[in-house]
Amino acid sequence: MNLLVKERRISKIYHAMVENKPAEPEQRLIHYLKKNEKLNKSFVSLVEKEEFQKAELSYKTKKILQKYTLLEIELFTGRHHQIRAQLAACGMPIKGDIKYGAKRTNPDGSISLHARKVVFEHPISNLTVTAEAVRELL
């Protein structure tokens, strides 16, 4: 399992409720992130910089509501606060995520980011294993 993680052979799908509508209904985002330990936050650059790591994800719009948009996100890299930082950098902070620019917190202090599905090939049986959440954000 450690090798699967290291080689990024695990597919991870998330759902996020974001403020604002995306510029495109589907998009692949590539940014460069740097983690700040003291602030427990990642900072985004559009161009490669020293000490920044490449971060890549794609999103698809699932549903547009009056105040929020539900996105499905596939991660291709696993950086600190990657989804939060990249979506915020595109003007779409996650609902409740004031650290990355949301207008207000959720009443319970959570953010509206949900690990939806994980898919990987079992290292011994070579069978595809899928773990999917039963409930959705909406």
| Residue 135: predicted pLDDT | 79
Each residue's pLDDT tens digit, 59-83: 999 999 999 999 999 999 999 999 9
Calculate what percentage of the chain has a pLDDT beyond 90: 88
pLDDT tier at 108, thresholds 50, 70, 90: very high
Q: Does the CA dihedral 81-21-12-7 come out positive or negative?
A: negative
User: What is the CATH number assigned to the segment(s) 2-132?
Assistant: 3.30.2350.10
Q: Which H or E run contains 117?
A: strand 113-121
Burial of 100 (0-12, 13-18, 19+ CB in 10 A): buried
Q: Where along the chain do its domains lie? A: 2-132
- Our CA angle for 62, 64, 70, nearest 5°, is 45
CB 65 within 8 A of CB 54: no
Q: pTM to 2 decimals?
A: 0.91
